[in-house]
Amino acid sequence: MKLSDIAARLNCDLSGDGSVEIFGVAGIENAREGELSFLVNPKYFPQLKHTRASGLIVGTDFGPAHIPLLRHRNPYLVFAKAIELFKQPRKQLPGIHPTAVVFPDAKLGRDVAVGAFSTIGARASIGNGVQVASHCVVEDDVTIDEQTILHPGCIIRERVRVGKQCIIQSNAVLGSDGFGYAKQDDGSWYRIVQAGTVVIEDEVEIGAGTMIDRAAVGETRIGQRTKIDNLVHIGHGCQIGRDCLICAQVGLAGSTRLGDNVILAGQVGAAGHLTIGSGVIAVAQTGIPSSVEPGKVISGSPAIDQKTWLKSSAIHARLPELNKHIRDLDKRIRDLEIIFKVIHESRE
Amino acid sequence: MKLSDIAARLNCDLSGDGSVEIFGVAGIENAREGELSFLVNPKYFPQLKHTRASGLIVGTDFGPAHIPLLRHRNPYLVFAKAIELFKQPRKQLPGIHPTAVVFPDAKLGRDVAVGAFSTIGARASIGNGVQVASHCVVEDDVTIDEQTILHPGCIIRERVRVGKQCIIQSNAVLGSDGFGYAKQDDGSWYRIVQAGTVVIEDEVEIGAGTMIDRAAVGETRIGQRTKIDNLVHIGHGCQIGRDCLICAQVGLAGSTRLGDNVILAGQVGAAGHLTIGSGVIAVAQTGIPSSVEPGKVISGSPAIDQKTWLKSSAIHARLPELNKHIRDLDKRIRDLEIIFKVIHESRE
Amino acid sequence: MKLSDIAARLNCDLSGDGSVEIFGVAGIENAREGELSFLVNPKYFPQLKHTRASGLIVGTDFGPAHIPLLRHRNPYLVFAKAIELFKQPRKQLPGIHPTAVVFPDAKLGRDVAVGAFSTIGARASIGNGVQVASHCVVEDDVTIDEQTILHPGCIIRERVRVGKQCIIQSNAVLGSDGFGYAKQDDGSWYRIVQAGTVVIEDEVEIGAGTMIDRAAVGETRIGQRTKIDNLVHIGHGCQIGRDCLICAQVGLAGSTRLGDNVILAGQVGAAGHLTIGSGVIAVAQTGIPSSVEPGKVISGSPAIDQKTWLKSSAIHARLPELNKHIRDLDKRIRDLEIIFKVIHESRE
């Protein structure tokens, strides 16, 4: 495909020679001749002079370059669409693998794919075009809506409901029992039957090895279009809003609520029974012990305002210095005090 | 079931109309008419006036309310038992699924269930009433005692011993190889054969996606009635006591010992070869670099006494202010010093 | 085996009676008569007088003892080799289990083992002596080189390449889709097709439940002989060098590069697009927000030099005290200022 055709299809302003033939998309460092790349993160700007890419997707304010540029207001989004020109995600062909075990009373829509050794439980309802890869477990009374994709090894426990156009990565578990125990008089823990379920709304993505527990009563809910990364723990009864990004290894204790458009970076943890407002951004490893107002950017453990945290962290690294400064001040005050005493006594 | 009957069965003091018919249990916010709820966490007290629940389980000191109350000294425990009146955990029917692969010399007790595509290895011993769900791997020489439940996707590696009435959630792995390497002269890592095993005592629960490594020599052991949440890592050779609560995403490096009744909140990490005494409580995200005396409540990374940590954390957020204060003091001392010099010189 | 024979085979200096018969290897605390143990970590030195071991592997500078000693410059390595004298890792017998599903056009080398319910995809290439345990998924176009071991439940997604003599622990996933989204004008997230792959070089080990995401474009790469522990998240496009140790629950955001011989202790997190130099050591729970020079030892979140961090942390625990000290200094200065004012006024 010619670069000028790509520019047209992706609605970019082309500067430079558009006649070059492009055969693929690559990162700026690894791109070969004939590949299209992108340059958005300033960290990689020094790579500009070394790259062998035959074209670059950049922002509208990007300066001139010795290689053809495709300028766009949202270059990262254009990059995403450029990949699709050359690579379509693999699609599982419809059909039930002969080794799959599908309960006779499960309802399967049109063009459903069920891979090797996967099981579909009693009364499960699988929508049109759903792709269940190999080695998945879909238990009794589960609902999975149309076009959703389950990668190998997913486990969807009983009664869980998954919306349409969701993507569940490998070895994720939806509907594992919540971690709920009541303390008994002898100090031992009495198990609380986890009688609730999990609801995943439409267009949600769940990362590999992520665990979403079912509620004790009621439901754990993941809102529309929210994206969850790998190895995340969502405790029982959590309510996540729409369009959130929950990065890898985040953990939410039970019954915490997130608004919409919340971003939790990697390894963030939140206590239970909190309300985290819409638009909140928590920097990586933030520990959230209490509810957070909408729109806040927070950091640290325990979480504070991110700007304060940056300043506090800078001083934290200088605490030994500060400590010495305080001891020095103490000594200088003591000296002054002694001189004073001398003056005072000499005046008496 | 009438509310008065529930009160009687759960041994609660009923105040209000006990004749109302109850059909289920729900959270305070979602309860509908005819449902029983509970109110223990003061965070939810404002919900009291909005709830549509037809009855509430509360503590003995809870004030009067416009809806019937079931008072008990341990309301959370009563709530747990109330759920059971309406919802029993699903039970897998005994029997070996035709697709399961059971080694001829494995010993299976009475009423054992083995689900689709599960494997039971050579010389494995499976007690009466054990439920092995679908897609589980029980390797050679494993012992699982009576009434234990394995949810789908559990992997029990060779020689591991699991006690009775345990519950293992989906995709947990018991007996993965420990992470042990000896450094060689050339800087590369020499693998240490992990020759030991894992022992899970009775009534233990293991969360979804939790990994418990086998010891290099000897055994990794989880004590009776200890409950472990999701995505926890237990390193090789750890010894966990009885009645502990290990919350989600906790990580214990190798050979660390926990006493009884230890609580490690979410994302806590502990170094290897430590002794953490009975009754220790570590707040979420605590990093434990050294052994901890019994009964301590700790927080922070590195862990310190929790009360000190709370105070230190409060000051941490004010470090920029403190820093400015110190600079101001310095200036004021300098001013005094200059005046002194002037006085001193004027006196000479 | 006689202790003297073991000393000879492991190239140790024997001091004490070498005629004792040894039947196994055990930890210092659990060793019984007839077992060989080792003592390297000074934490366990007090165990010396209690141990029932019949021999001890120790360093060359270890003092005299009442039991026979095997001295060596690298006692931990010798211990590793001593275990092998008594315990060989279990080996899966070659052969394809009748329940396995192997695509007709997959290429299998000599002496390959494929366990129950495992699947080998189209055009996959499996080297000589590879052991694929039960319940593994090897997808289309995967390459696995000779002598590599896949434990039960591993998922190797399409096109991933695994080198020779690697060990992949249970429920690890190689090649899950990276977490990449471009923000759209309406605030929602547009999925970036993850068109790249994962390359695992030779002699790499991957822990149980570890997730390694495929790159958006290009590849995620794990260098030769690097060892990765359980529940680690490696984001898309990361490049890990050789001989690294990545401990449990570490998380690396996308496109971060590690040099060789890097050690990341448990629960360390690193932001995306960083360069972490060769030989860097990050202490447990370190949060790495920016690139790190080779050879640095770092700690804290955000990461700083480890020695500074130790000092800062010690002072952090004393912040309430420091704060009081500052207030005291302020008061003493105020007192001096008042006296001054008095002196000054008395002189006018």
Here the ipTM equals: 0.95
Radius of gyration of chain B measured on its C-alpha atoms: 28
Pair type for strands C197-200 and C161-162: parallel
- Please enumerate in sequence order all residues whose Cβ is within 8 A of that of B70, keeping only pairs 6 or more positions apart, or say none: B3, B6, B7, B10, B12, B13, B14, B36, B55, B56, B57, B58, B78
Mean pLDDT estimate for chain C: 95
Residue C348 banded pLDDT, cuts 50, 70, 90: low
Q: Are the beta carbons of C176 and A208 separated by less than 8 Å?
A: yes
Better pLDDT: B241 or C87: B241
Minimal CA separation from C235 to chain B, in Å: 18
- Condensed to tens digits (0 to 9), the pLDDT of residues A229-285 reads 999 999 999 999 999 999 999 999 999 999 999 999 999 999 999 999 999 999 999
Asked whether residue C204 falls in the same domain as residue C167, the answer is yes
Instruction: Using the predicted structure, report yes or no on whether residue C346 has a pLDDT greater than 80.
Output: no
Give pLDDT, residue A348.
62
Asked whether residue B159 falls in the same domain as residue B266, the answer is yes
Query: Smallest Cβ distance to A173: which of B41, B76, B171?
Result: B171
Region A187-199 average pLDDT: 95
- Please enumerate in sequence order all residues whose Cβ is within 8 A of that of B57, keeping only pairs 6 or more positions apart, or say none: B10, B12, B36, B37, B38, B39, B40, B69, B70, B72, B75, B78, B79, B82
Instruction: Using the predicted structure, report yes or no on whether residue C7 has a pLDDT greater than 80.
Output: yes
Give pLDDT, residue A181.
96
Residues of chain B with pLDDT under 70: 348
Domain membership flag for residue B312: no
Asked if residues B107 and B125 have their Cβ atoms less than 8 Å apart, the reply is yes
Minimal CA separation from A76 to chain C, in Å: 6
> Containing domain of residue B173, as a range?
95-307
- Condensed to tens digits (0 to 9), the pLDDT of residues A212-228 reads 999 999 999 999 999 99
Instruction: Using the predicted structure, report yes or no on whether residue A43 has a pLDDT greater than 90.
Output: no
Residue C59 banded pLDDT, cuts 50, 70, 90: very high
Q: For residue B31, what is the domain's CATH number? A: 3.40.1390.10
For residue A103, give the chain B residue with the closest CA: B116
Of B86, B113, B136, which residue is a domain's last?
B86
Asked whether residue A134 falls in the same domain as residue A249, the answer is yes
Domain membership flag for residue B157: yes
Is A236 an active-site residue? yes
Asked whether residue B150 falls in the same domain as residue B280, the answer is yes
Region A142-152 average pLDDT: 98
Token pair belonging to C74: 């690298």
Instruction: Using the predicted structure, report yes or no on whether residue C347 has a pLDDT greater than 90.
Output: no
Give pLDDT, residue C89.
82
- Please enumerate in sequence order all residues whose Cβ is within 8 A of that of B163, keeping only pairs 6 or more positions apart, or say none: B145, B148, B200, B201, B202, B203, B204, B224
Contacts 24+ apart (CB under 8 A), C32-38: C36/C3, C36/C6, C36/C70, C36/C82, C38/C75, C38/C76, C38/C78, C38/C79, C38/C82
With tokens 């070969």, the residue in question is: A32
Better pLDDT: C269 or A49: C269
Asked whether residue B128 falls in the same domain as residue B256, the answer is yes
Q: Are the beta carbons of B189 and C227 separated by less than 8 Å?
A: yes
Domain membership flag for residue A119: yes
Q: What are phi and psi of B280, to 5 degrees?
A: -65, 140
Domain membership flag for residue A235: yes
Residue C13 banded pLDDT, cuts 50, 70, 90: very high
Residues of B in contact with C83 (CB under 8 A): 192-193, 195, 216-217
Domain membership flag for residue A338: yes
Q: For residue C141, what is the domain's CATH number? A: 2.160.10.10
Q: Are the beta carbons of C83 and B192 separated by less than 8 Å?
A: yes
What CA–CA distance (Å, rounded) separates A70 from A14?
Answer: 5
What CA–CA distance (Å, rounded) separates C247 from C207?
Answer: 9
Asked whether residue B134 falls in the same domain as residue B274, the answer is yes
Q: At CA C240, angle to CA C236 and CA C242, rounded to 5? A: 155
Region C83-110 average pLDDT: 95
Residues of C in contact with A173 (CB under 8 A): none
Minimal CA separation from A315 to chain B, in Å: 7
Give pLDDT, residue A121.
97
Asked whether residue A293 falls in the same domain as residue A160, the answer is yes
Token pair belonging to A172: 């994720």
- Condensed to tens digits (0 to 9), the pLDDT of residues A299-341 reads 999 999 999 999 999 999 999 999 999 999 999 999 998 888 8
Domain membership flag for residue B26: yes
Mean pLDDT estimate for chain A: 95
Q: To which H or E segment does residue C79 belong?
A: helix C75-86
For residue C321, give the chain A residue with the closest CA: A323
Chains meeting C at 3+ CB pairs closer than 8 A? A, B
Instruction: Using the predicted structure, report yes or no on whether residue C342 has a pLDDT greater than 90.
Output: no
Domain membership flag for residue C312: no
Task: Tally the domains of chain B.
Answer: 3
Asked whether residue A77 falls in the same domain as residue A99, the answer is no
Asked whether residue C17 falls in the same domain as residue C131, the answer is no
Instruction: Using the predicted structure, report yes or no on whether residue A137 has a pLDDT greater than 70.
Output: yes
Give pLDDT, residue B343.
76
Residue C339 banded pLDDT, cuts 50, 70, 90: confident
CA A136 to chain centroid: 23
Percent of chain A with pLDDT over 90: 89
Q: Are the beta carbons of B230 and A211 separated by less than 8 Å?
A: yes
Q: Are the beta carbons of C189 and A326 separated by less than 8 Å?
A: no
Percent of chain C with pLDDT over 90: 89
Q: DSSP H helical segments within chain A, as ranges?
A: 3-9, 75-86, 306-316, 319-347
Better pLDDT: A348 or C52: C52
Of C28, C51, C86, which residue is a domain's last?
C86
What CA–CA distance (Å, rounded) separates C303 from C286?
Answer: 6
Asked whether residue A17 falls in the same domain as residue A122, the answer is no
Q: Are the beta carbons of A209 and C213 separated by less than 8 Å?
A: no
Region C109-129 average pLDDT: 98
Asked whether residue B174 falls in the same domain as residue B263, the answer is yes
pTM of the model: 0.96
Q: Are the beta carbons of A173 and B153 separated by less than 8 Å?
A: yes
What CA–CA distance (Å, rounded) separates A55 from A68?
Answer: 5
Minimal CA separation from C315 to chain A, in Å: 7
Domain membership flag for residue C14: yes
Interface test with B, best of C285, C286, C333, C347 (most B CBs within 10 A): C285
Of B86, B117, B140, which residue is a domain's last?
B86
Asked whether residue B237 falls in the same domain as residue B100, the answer is yes
Give pLDDT, residue B348.
63
Query: Smallest Cβ distance to B315: which of C205, C249, C319?
Result: C319
- Please enumerate in sequence order all residues whose Cβ is within 8 A of that of C95, keeping only pairs 6 or more positions apart, or say none: C113, C114
